[in-house]
């Protein structure tokens, strides 16, 4: 009887001692969390995409509370409703939320682009660029192994015919921009303006041999643009969004049809 | 105990009797959080820290409370209780005074509440009749060994994740095979102690 009592007593005593210690320490060393941070966190989408420029939704919430100068409209995935919610919690005016989308600036799918070798290495874009720029003839274009697709938090990229395509799920976070080894993905804010969907800076003849949908730098669009909004920079047409009126003429006359609108 | 004896305990716990690769303790975090080097190092340091702390607390309890009262059989339940409470306490203290460390350890701290490697260190110290200083060196070595195994394995994992193995080997099977090979390589250390300090 005595043995059982001693055993039960010591375990209970240790348990109670631990409990008391934890109770007291949690009260004494209580860290006061700002209520606004909790409220902000719960109204943010929580996908931790980083589009706002802070490490995750929690990071953005803390930054908002710390620095009142930080804008409440930085959450692109959340859109106007989240911006409104954040502004209400912080007690400030909410600005408009710019809709941003990722654009893959390449049309070189497996039909358009020539193949220069049979690549059987590690199936990631990053690995492929290390070996003569991948199996496609064009070293500027999409490699098609989907590094961007793998990091996309919203399932907005799919690979069709060895070409990355962005669909309507895109939240404009820009994570894909960072992982693309050829840097052919850009985040576009001005969605009304057409975009040159080629990144190849080589001369027209060289491009033509490699891909049927590349910019040949023929300057036809430069000459015919009614607003003179297009210039030729390093063998690639560049559209000035400030001058462009989105008449669509360049997209029509382009010989390789590499000028297109978004989505 | 001479200084040399302490070093023998340290090296033996860290490399020769590596907790993860030779004694197969703490396999769950070893396989679970070794995906990238950052989180594996985080987990490794957290375990190292808690191992030493747990030893400092459990050793006196065993020697001054359990052994004199013939309660050696309560070792398991008492140690589990103490280690769990200790980890919780550490979490509160770190959150208050060293928030940077708390944030970097993140989820790994509560994960350690029931880590068998930490528990095993506490039991081993008692079984080997170590003094307090020897116990601390033993747990330090065990922690360093755990950290070493974690970091080494995360490097290997990086390559197995990029590899293109047959379908049936993808994921867990390949990870386990890699772990087994790493474990075999650590058997090469057996005999080192005898030859170095023998």
CA distance B183 to A126: 31
Task: Give the one of A18, A124, A127 whose C-beta lies nearest to B85's C-beta.
Answer: A18
Domains of chain A, each with CATH number or no CATH = 35-90 (1.10.15), 101-260 (3.30.70.20)
Per-residue pLDDT of chain A (263 residues; tens, 9 = 90+): 678 888 888 889 989 999 998 899 888 877 776 778 888 888 888 777 777 778 778 888 888 888 877 877 788 777 778 888 888 888 777 666 667 788 899 888 888 888 888 888 888 898 888 888 888 888 888 988 988 998 888 888 999 888 998 888 888 888 888 889 988 998 887 777 888 888 888 888 888 888 888 888 888 888 888 888 898 888 888 888 888 888 888 888 888 888 887 54
Beta bridge partners of A237: A232
Q: Identify all chain A residues contacting B93, using CB atoms and an 8 Å cutoff.
A: 25, 29
- In tens, the pLDDT along B31-49 reads 877 877 887 888 888 888 8
In this structure, the number of other CB atoms found within 10 A of the CB of residue B152 comes to 18
In 3D space, the residue among B112, B111, B95 whose CA is nearest the CA of residue B103 turns out to be B95
Task: Give the one of A7, A11, A31 whose C-beta lies nearest to B95's C-beta.
Answer: A31
Q: Which site among A14, A119, A126 would you substitute to test the B interface, given the most B Cβ atoms closer than 10 Å to its Cβ?
A: A14
* E strand spans, A64-112: 101-104
Cα nearest neighbour of B87 on chain A: A22
- In tens, the pLDDT along A194-248 reads 888 888 888 888 888 888 888 888 888 888 888 888 988 888 888 888 888 888 8
Cα nearest neighbour of B162 on chain A: A122
pLDDT of residue A263: 44
Tokens of A258: 């590499």
How many angstroms away from the CA of B102 is the closest CA of chain A? 12
CA distance A262 to A251: 12
How many angstroms away from the CA of A11 is the closest CA of chain B? 6
Contact B35, B25 (CB under 8 A): no
In 3D space, the residue among A4, A2, A1, A21 whose CA is nearest the CA of residue B74 turns out to be A4
How many angstroms away from the CA of B4 is the closest CA of chain A? 36
How many angstroms away from the CA of B110 is the closest CA of chain A? 14
Q: What is the ipTM of this complex?
A: 0.72
């Amino acid at each position: 009887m005595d043995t059982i009592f001693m055993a039960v007593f010591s375990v209970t005593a240790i348990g109670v001692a631990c409990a008391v210690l934890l109770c007291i320490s949690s009260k004494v060393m209580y860290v006061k969390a700002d209520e606004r941070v909790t409220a902000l966190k719960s109204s943010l989408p929580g996908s931790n995409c980083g589009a706002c420029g802070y490490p995750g939704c929690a990071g953005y919430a803390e930054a908002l509370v710390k620095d009142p100068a930080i804008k409440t409209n930085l959450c692109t995935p959340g859109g106007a409703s989240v911006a409104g919610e954040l502004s209400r919690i912080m007690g400030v005016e909410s600005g408009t939320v710019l809709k941003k989308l990722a654009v893959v600036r390449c049309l070189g799918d497996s039909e358009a682009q020539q193949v220069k070798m049979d690549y059987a290495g590690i199936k990631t874009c990053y690995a492929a660029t290390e070996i003569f720029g991948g199996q496609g003839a064009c070293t500027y274009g999409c490699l098609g192994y989907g590094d961007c697709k793998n990091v996309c938090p919203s399932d907005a990229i799919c690979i069709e015919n060895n070409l990355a395509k962005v669909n309507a799920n895109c939240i404009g976070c820009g994570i894909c921009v960072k992982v693309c080894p050829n840097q052919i993905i850009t985040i576009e804010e001005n969605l009304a303006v057409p975009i040159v969907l080629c990144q190849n800076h080589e001369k027209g003849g060289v491009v033509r041999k490699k891909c049927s949908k590349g910019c040949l730098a023929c300057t036809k669009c430069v000459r015919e643009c009614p607003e003179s909004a297009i210039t030729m920079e390093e063998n690639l047409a560049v559209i000035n969004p400030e001058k462009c009126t989105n008449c669509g003429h360049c997209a029509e006359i382009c010989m390789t049809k590499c000028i297109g609108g978004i989505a | 105990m001479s200084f040399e004896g302490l070093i023998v305990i340290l090296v033996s716990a860290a490399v020769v009797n590596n907790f993860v690769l030779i004694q197969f303790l703490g396999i769950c975090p070893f396989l679970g959080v070794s995906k990238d080097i950052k989180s594996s190092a985080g987990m490794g340091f957290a375990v190292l820290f808690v191992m030493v702390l747990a030893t400092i607390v459990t050793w006196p309890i065993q020697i001054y409370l359990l052994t004199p009262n013939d309660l050696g059989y309560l070792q398991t339940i008492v140690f589990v209780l103490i280690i769990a409470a200790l980890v919780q306490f550490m979490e509160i203290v770190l959150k208050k005074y060293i928030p940077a460390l708390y944030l970097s350890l993140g989820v790994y701290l509560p994960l350690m509440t029931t880590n068998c490697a930490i528990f095993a260190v506490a039991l081993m110290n008692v079984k080997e009749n170590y003094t307090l200083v020897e116990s601390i060196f033993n747990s330090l070595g065990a922690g360093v060994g755990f950290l070493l195994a974690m970091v080494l394995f995360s490097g290997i994992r990086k390559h197995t994740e990029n590899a293109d193995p047959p379908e049936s080997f993808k994921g867990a099977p390949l990870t386990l095979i890699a772990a087994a090979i790493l474990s075999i390589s650590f058997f090469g250390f057996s005999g080192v102690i005898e030859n170095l300090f023998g």
